Amino acid sequence: MDSLLQGLRAAGEETRLRLLVLCGHSELTVSELTQILGQSQPRVSRHLKLLCDAGLLDRYQEGSWVFYRLSAKSQSSLLARTLVDLVPIEDVIVSRDLERLEVVKKARGMVAEQYFKENAAHWGEIRSLHVPEKEVEALLLKVFADLEIKDFLDIGTGTGRMLELFGPNTEHAIGIDSSREMLSFARAAVEDAGLRNCQVRLADMYNLPFATRSQDAITVHQVLHYAEEPAKVIIEASRVLRPGGLLAIVDFALHKIENLQTEHAHRQMGFKPAQINDYFELAGLEPKELHVLKGDPLTVNIWSAARPGNVQSIGVAL
């Protein structure tokens, strides 16, 4: 009762309700919200604090930026979404706010597009060495086909493609990456796709900002070859996987293409099938079927592993 009343009091003011609606449509910084509302930053910040204290908004750091988004996990998250959905978008003030929001999102999209153009040749060169991504994605969806996914995590989300792929069939999906530029691209991609249940975060794959046993499904898609210590990435992913949950690793089989290390910053020259399974077992996971997509010259493998329902702890030190 108390949290409900606090949430209603926090939302019961015009500017705060407008902020709630805007953050229900996009992740936004204080400066972006100030630009849209045409109000001072101190005033907007005070309103945002009240909304966060009431559990209606989530606040998170991304480098020097602070983003705000409609709450996804608090006791008041249902109230927050209900209030946003109740506000008529044809309202004069709200429709104007949303028009200004589109201007902000368009500016973001231009930055993301420029980054993509600058790196398209790099990504295209690697994609040309293995089977088409559509084949990989189709098989990856089959790997998770029998799992009911409430919480989905993509480690090293890059362009956010895994969020686009799995987001429509999950309650809550989040992608983490250590690159702000990639996060800008991913954020624009999921917002363009209308995936309001998807978020992106700046985070370290060796130290995930999530509670133990909090995720039903995790993907590490074409990321592990960048890791200095792949085993630690898998152990940390295992920590946040729920009993009965599934982890999938998509990466290259062992290869001899040295320029991927010298020119593309790969730390690993692919992986042997048994190598990833050994990491799974070290992390307390049960390896599942290995899927092989042969290419020329690169072969893509999909390894998957489940967290046993009766495992109570992980005590691994490297």
User: Which residues of the chain are in CATH 3.40.50.150 domains?
Assistant: 129-306
Rounded to whole angstroms, the Cα distance separating 276 from 17 reads: 49
Other CB atoms within 10 A of residue 2 CB: 7
Q: What is the mean pLDDT of residues 195-208?
A: 93
Per-residue pLDDT, 100:
93
Q: Which residues have CB under 8 Å from 244's CB, separation 6+?
A: 216, 306, 307, 309
Rounded to whole angstroms, the Cα distance separating 241 from 132 reads: 29
Rounded to whole angstroms, the Cα distance separating 10 from 133 reads: 46
**pLDDT tens, residue by residue, 4-13:** 888 888 889 9
Q: What is the pTM of this model?
A: 0.77
Match domain 129-306 to its CATH number in 3.40.50.1980, 3.40.50.150, 3.30.930.10, 3.30.70.1140.
3.40.50.150
User: Which residues of the chain are in CATH 1.10.10.10 domains?
Assistant: 2-101
Per-residue pLDDT, 93:
93
Per-residue pLDDT, 118:
62
Q: Give the residue from 252, 249, 278 showing the smallest Cα distance to 266.
A: 252
Rounded to whole angstroms, the Cα distance separating 92 from 113 reads: 31
| First-to-last C-alpha distance (Å) of the chain | 47
Per-residue pLDDT, 4:
81
**pLDDT tens, residue by residue, 31-53:** 999 999 999 999 999 999 999 99
Evaluate if residue 30 carries a pLDDT over 70: yes
Q: Comparing 311 with 294, which gets the higher pLDDT?
A: 294
Most confident of 100-114, 229-243, 252-266, 292-306: 229-243
Per-residue pLDDT, 311:
40
Evaluate if residue 165 carries a pLDDT over 50: yes
How does the average pLDDT of the chain come out, rounded?
87
Per-residue pLDDT, 313:
40
Most confident of 70-74, 170-174, 257-261: 170-174
Evaluate if residue 199 carries a pLDDT over 90: yes
Q: Give the residue from 185, 186, 178 showing the smallest Cα distance to 208.
A: 178
Per-residue pLDDT, 315:
39
Domain 2-101 CATH assignment equals 3.40.50.300: no
Rounded to whole angstroms, the Cα distance separating 52 from 54 reads: 5
CA 5 from chain centre, in angstroms, equals 31
Pairing of strands 65-70, 57-62: antiparallel
Show the DSSP H helices in 87-159 as ranges.
92-127, 133-143
Instruction: Please provide the DSSP assignment of 52-90 as one string.
Output: HHTTSEEEEEETTEEEEEE-SSSTTHHHHHHHHHHS-TT
Tokens at residue 262, please? 């010298």
CA–CA distances in Å: residue 209 to residues 57, 214, 281, 305: 18, 11, 23, 21
Confidence of residue 266 (pLDDT cuts 50, 70, 90): confident
Evaluate if residue 164 carries a pLDDT over 90: yes
